[in-house]
Structure 1
Amino acid sequence: MYGREVLGGSGCVGLLFGGGGAGAVLGSIGYGCLGHRMSRWAVYTVCFFIFFIGGAPRTAVFLLGPGLWWLALAMFVAGMFGGTLNPLSGVVVLDRVPEEFRSRVMGMLNAGALSATPLGALGADVAVATWGLPGGFVSAGVVYLLVTLCPLVFPDWRTLDTTVVRPRANVPVTSAH
């Protein structure tokens, strides 16, 4: 809707998503090279928050309408910081989940994240239908900000830097006959 009504077409939306994707690749590479030298909690918290602020294409930057190239730059910056979140999350899962359960845990994490996608789209549709495009951006921004603050509010997040050594589970290995 934003692409059609404000930017003038889907090509411009593609440019914005491409900028975000390019930033995400760069952020992932950067975390891969430098992440082991930094606090996981600090990196996650800062990147998640900057992903929200720099990623304000979902909120203020889109509402301000500074022009396509500024929006593309904001998407690129948001992508850079957001691109660190998945590799960091993967490191935490590999560090904390016993080897025998990793495929199940990673599968459930992916399924949970992907199953929430249609709910977000439905919520966005309801918000835009109820409050219009600006209200939809503001409501999404408020929800995202509340989620972004979780690493600062809940103390369990500070344990990201703690390496958990778990003994191997006694899971019987069965062979398929």
Structure 2
Amino acid sequence: MRIVLLGPPGAGKGTQATRLIEKLGVPQLSTGDMLRAAVAAGTPIGLKAKAIMDAGQLVPDDVVVGIIDQRIDAPDCATGFILDGFPRTVAQAEALRAMLATKGLKLDAVIELVVDENALVDRMRKRVAETIAAGGTVRADDNPESFKTRLETYRAQTAPVSAHYAERGDLKQVDGMRSIDEVTAAIGTALGR
């Protein structure tokens, strides 16, 4: 299955992606991880991305889509993949659709975790406390002010992607405020599994 997971920061996409990986046996594709891997491997597109990142600029859509294009050709993506963190804009969603079409592929599902944004701040604080209690390292952007900025960025740039997929009839929404197991079950139902 080829799946896109949508939802604001803290919605539980990472947790659900991990469960989908186990259930479906497909990899989770993180654009950040793929960019770093392409740079480390010294691929032509990785070198292009490195030059852009070294200049302190955002990597443009065509480079990100190119990296995803290369990554989904890997053997572990033969039966599908989970995209988390991409597409972030409607333009990226259209570029993804066009790229998949050139391969004779399409997305099987676009799942959006719908959450109460006010409750997400509490969820973030709990995650920070659990990470500290476990002796882990807290993400630099896991603080109330940074988190609010991330939510504002999501609303402005990424939330329109949900509307785009809804207009196309591809969007399936799941209540992300339920328990982890209930969200997993609802995703399974949305996927017909």
* TM band (smaller chain): under 0.3
The alignment's TM-score, normalised by the length of structure 2, stands at: 0.23
Q: Which has the larger radius of gyration?
A: 1
Question: As a proportion of its length, which structure holds more helix?
Answer: 1
